[in-house]
Structure 1
Amino acid sequence: MTTALPLFRQTVRDEWIDYNGHLSEAYYVLVFGFATDALMAEAGLDDAYRKRSGCSLYTVEAHVRYLDEVARGSELTVRTTVLGADAKKVRFAHEMFTGEPDGAPVATEELFALHVDQGTGRSAPLPQTAQRTLGGLVAPAPDWAGRGIRAV
C-alpha cells in the first residue's frame, strides 16, 4: 500500500517574475527544488542527516515541461510522486498547479537522483529507513513521465 506525500505549497514572489510578466523558467525549477527538499525530509534525508552522514541525494537527470504561464502572486501547489526507489537510486515526479491540484498542471518535472557519499563523490546505499519510506511511496507514473524531447 502506498502513502501519499503531503502537498508542497509556495506563493510566487515578485522577484521571480520575468520581463514577460510571468514566472521565470528558473523559478519553476526553484519551486520544484523546494518540493524535492520536502520529499527528502519526509524520507529522513534532511539537513541533520546530511550533516551526520555526509550523504545526500544528488539529482543526476531532470526533465522539465513548462505547460502554462504563472502570474505574480499565484499560489502554487506541487504534488510529488515517487516512481521508483532502490538501494541507491530514486526516480520521482513533481506536478505544479496554480491553486489546488484539481486541474491541469502548469509545469512538471521528472527527476532521477542518486544517494551520494559527499566525501568520496560516489554513490552509496540509502539508509534502510529511507529505502522503506521511499518504497512505500511508490505509485504509478503519470502518463507524461519517461518521455524525452521530441525532434522537430
Structure 2
Amino acid sequence: MTRVPRHADFRLLTGRGTGDRTSGAASASVSYMQWIETHRDVVYPWQCDHMGHLNVMYYTAMFDRATWHLFSSVGFTGAYLRTQDRGMAAVQSTTSYRSELVSGDLIVIRSRFLEVHERKARFEHEMTNLETGEIAATSELVGVHIDRTVRKACAIPEEIRSSIEKLISGESGDSADR
C-alpha cells in the first residue's frame, strides 16, 4: 500500500512553492498522486448565510459532487454500485475552511486518493477560488465499501483497488495535474 503521510508538506505534495515535485526529503521515497479536477461551480446568493459568505452545507455538497467524479475515475461508477448492490459510506470527514467565498465566486475542486485498504479508501479535496487562486477549503474523508444487501463493509474489488493504487503511485497517466 502507498499512502501520503498526514504530516507531509503540502508544497512538496503539489509542487506549489518548491519549483518541482521531486525536491525535498518526503518525495525521495514516496510517490504522490497528482490532483485531478473533479468539480467546478459558482457561489450563488441563495447559498450564502447571514454573514454573506458560502454556508458550510454548500461546501459539503460541492465536495460530495467532487467525490463522485473521483470515484468514477477508478470504477466506482453509478452503474457499478447499482448492478453490484454496493455503496460507499463516509465514515470520517474533516473539513478546513481557509478563506471565505462570496456570491459570484467561481470555484474549482481538485481531488486525489491518499491510501487504499481492503475495504476503505482515504481521499482529499481542495477547493480553490478561481479568481484569487486562494485555497478556500480542504476536505479529507474515509469511505468504506458497503454490501447494501447485508449492510456491512466488504472488500473493494481488486481492479478498483489496483486503479487507486496506480493513481497514488503515479503509474497512471490519468492522474495528471489539470
Shorter-chain TM range is 0.7 to 0.9
Matched, 1:116 2:146: yes
Matched, 1:97 2:128: yes
**Correspondence for 1:145:** none
Give, in whole Å, the separation in 1 of the partners of 2:129 and 2:34: 23
User: Do 1:81 and 1:139's aligned partners in 2 also have CA atoms closer than 8 Å?
Assistant: no
Residues paired across the two proteins, number = 139
Structure 1 position 5, deviation (Å)? 2.6
- The ranges of structure 1 where at least 4 consecutive aligned residues each deviate by more than 4 angstroms after the TM superposition are 1-4
TM-score normalised by the chain length of structure 1:
0.83
Give, in whole Å, the separation in 2 of the partners of 1:4 and 1:131: 18
Structure 1 position 50, deviation (Å)? 1.3
Q: Secondary structure at the match of 1:83?
A: strand
Shifted more, 4-13 versus 64-73: the winner is 4-13
**Correspondence for 2:105:** 74
Matched, 1:129 2:156: no
Give, in whole Å, the separation in 2 of the partners of 1:132 and 1:108: 26
User: Do 1:5 and 1:137's aligned partners in 2 also have CA atoms closer than 8 Å?
Assistant: no
- Calculate percent identity across the aligned residue pairs: 27
Inter-CA distance 28–126: structure 2 relative to 1 (3 Å threshold):
same
Structure 2: runs of 5 or more not aligned: 1-30, 171-178
Cα-to-partner distance string for 1:65-111 (whole Å, 9 max, x where unaligned): 111110112111111121101221100111110117x9441111110
Select the residue among 111, 117, 122 that pairs with 1:86: 117
Give, in whole Å, the separation in 2 of the partners of 1:115 and 1:14: 36
Structure 1 position 11, deviation (Å)? 1.5
Structure 1 position 3, deviation (Å)? 6.0
Select the residue among 136, 142, 154 that pairs with 1:106: 136
Structure 1 position 43, deviation (Å)? 1.5
Structure 1: runs of 5 or more not aligned: 141-152
Give, in whole Å, the separation in 2 of the partners of 1:40 and 1:3: 15
TM-score normalised by the chain length of structure 2:
0.71
